[in-house]
Amino acid sequence: MLLVVTFRPEEPGPRPLFAALARLPHVTRLDLPPLSPAEVADQVRGILGDADAAAARNAHARGGGNPLFVEALVTTPGEAVPGSLRDLLLGRVRRLPGPARAAVRAASCAGDRAGHALLAAVTGLPDADLGEALRPAADHGLLIADGDGYAFRHALIREAVHGDLLPGERSALHRRYAEAVERRPELSDTPESALAVHWQACGDHARALAAAWRAAGERGAAAAHAERLTLLERVLDLWDRVPDAASLTGAARREVLEAAAEAAGAAGDPGRGLPLVRRALEETHRDREPGRAARLLVLRAQLRGQQGHEDELDDLREAARLVPGPLPARVEVLARLSSRLVVHGEMDEGERLAREGAQLAAALGMGTARLWLETTAAAAAARDGDGDTAPLERLRGRGLGASQTVNVLNTLTHCRLSTGHPAGGLAAADEALALAERAGLAHSLGPAPAVNRVEALYRLGRWDEAGAAPLARRIARRAGRAGLTGPSGGPLTARESEVLQLLARGRSNREIGRGAVHLAEDRQRPRLAHPRQARRLLPRRGRRRGPGPRPGVTGRPGARLGRRACEPPGAAHCRMASGGRCKRQGAAAGSGTRTRPGTVARTRGAFSARQTVVRRRAGRRRCARPRPPRRPRAPATPPRR
């Protein structure tokens, strides 16, 4: 008989008993760690039927990986602290002795972490007395020691304690924190940010706005874009409550809106940035300030591009119209517009505008912009013709800096992948990664070539390497929220990130296959072969041979997949190579698109190689298109005598 006993290690009562049991030879103690972010996402998926990335991140951050807390958070998303947990959390606090309760309540106003010296200054207790007061809270698992301070074991505990304070208690404690930090800034790791929070919590809006503006400048200098965005949003929230906000910050509100939208883009959070840039555009007169309006349109296009919206080109074309003269602003607009045109497959216009911008940049002495535009023009020429990458090779040999060389190599990788040369793309991606490592810039420059490398390995059929940790795991973790550049030159789509996550986490072929099927149906960037190849990643029981819905593939994508699953390979790849205009194998491209025979031939050859790999891994050599049944042979006629 196996006897399983569960207990909470933070409860002090049963500790002696369980310590004695653990010393017995036939007893095994298992300490369960908190759920990881990926495991929380799996739990959210099991509860809701779908794993919203933002909801899963929020549940993990607030619940600390506790399954009970995660369930309460995702089932009652509107509440600060779900009612089902509030009494449970506060019950443990109310059982503490009086001095411990007072110290815990004071610590709840500090934020995620309370330094010992700062908490002593706020409570007025000597060091020894403060430690004695906090000991019961630590013994009951409410607080944990964190360096020279204290943190709540779970963010929900802090939220519950802070929400239980009376308004007067809360305001007084926050004012004590603000005054303590103002007297001794060294008590806080981020004094300006702390002042902004505490002054606003106690109702001093002018001081809070000034502190938040200063803190935003500090966070921006430290490249902490997400924190800078939060602080600038605080400034905007306080703006109308402070009569002289412009004089306190030295900036107009539209400038703050633009800065916040830029921080959202840098933080990979376009959903928060788009409303900000829209408000900034509403406060800008396009005829009187065309340069500012063009800059805001470029910013909005960048944010829309991170979300995968195709209407980003409308904003960029309008920005180019607003700055027609030989100005630095036009160079910047053309650099962005030409590169996005190439990503969207409009090679002729992209190459023409890139060359125009490069000439203008040379005349204005804008060396970095000129190099960027020359790279875009060379990429457009390579992708639109027969894959001639000689111009890119010449750019690489011009003695550029590390950042510029990595950019050229990334573009070279994209061109080689899009023209059916995955081995060459892999070599360029490896070179870019090695250069980023040597330059000490792997964190900032490394993710884009890492994405390219996974794509090249996938196309070469080296799937084990493509899914090996930590490379693919790092890509999958950062791709969706950081707007990283994918093999097509644009940010990774949610489906691309999903497939990479499945590879990195070692998921089943069924899950990988479904993700790849949807990705292959993406008309803008159909890069993981075509639906038939992706379909072969599914196990036999998940396949169907004819048109119609399939398990896990529903709605319009499923209907398109059903129709295309029985096409011959040449038809699908002709459509891929020519932007979806071909209907039959060997058909000419549609009007307005330049024919690319070299690209089509190499792509078909690469497909044949990939098809062989997929068949071998799937253990199947028969095409997805059902063959007509053979007619039975007539019995042999006996020879006449």
Any idea where the domains of the chain sit in the sequence? 37-171, 508-587+597-618
**Exposed/middle/buried for residue 353 (C-beta within 10 Å: 0-12, 13-18, 19+):** buried
CA distance 377 to 371: 10
**Does the pLDDT at position 257 exceed 80?**
yes
The band of 510, judged by pLDDT with boundaries at 50, 70 and 90, is: very low
Task: Report, in angstroms and rounded to the nearest whole number, the Rg of the chain calculated over CA atoms.
Answer: 30
Query: Higher confidence at residue 559 or residue 201?
Result: 201
In this predicted structure, what is the pLDDT of residue 11?
64
Average pLDDT, the chain: 75
In this predicted structure, what is the pLDDT of residue 61?
84
Residue given tokens 């298109």 in the structure block: 625
The band of 450, judged by pLDDT with boundaries at 50, 70 and 90, is: confident
Give the count of alpha carbons within 13 A of 267, CB side only.
Answer: 22
Region class of 223: left (phi > 0), else alpha (psi between -120 and 50), else beta = left
Report the 10 Å Cβ neighbour count for 31.
Answer: 5
The pLDDT tens digits of the residues spanning 264-322 come to 988 888 999 999 999 999 999 988 999 999 999 999 999 998 887 778 899 999 999 99
In this predicted structure, what is the pLDDT of residue 566?
36
In this predicted structure, what is the pLDDT of residue 577?
37
In this predicted structure, what is the pLDDT of residue 478?
45
Give yes or no for a contact between 359 and 539, defined as CB atoms under 8 angstroms apart: no
Element (H, E) at 463: helix 463-466
CA distance 265 to 119: 36
List C-alpha distances in Å: 367 to 231, 317, 361: 34, 23, 7
Residues 6+ apart with CB under 8 A from 52: 44
In this predicted structure, what is the pLDDT of residue 9?
67
**Does the pLDDT at position 360 exceed 80?**
yes
Give yes or no for a contact between 479 and 496, defined as CB atoms under 8 angstroms apart: yes
The band of 162, judged by pLDDT with boundaries at 50, 70 and 90, is: very high
**Does the pLDDT at position 497 exceed 50?**
no
Whether cis (ω within 30° of 0) applies to the bond prior to 470 is: yes
Return the minimum-mean-pLDDT range out of 141-145, 236-240, 558-562. Answer: 558-562
The pLDDT tens digits of the residues spanning 128-157 come to 999 999 999 988 888 998 888 999 988 888
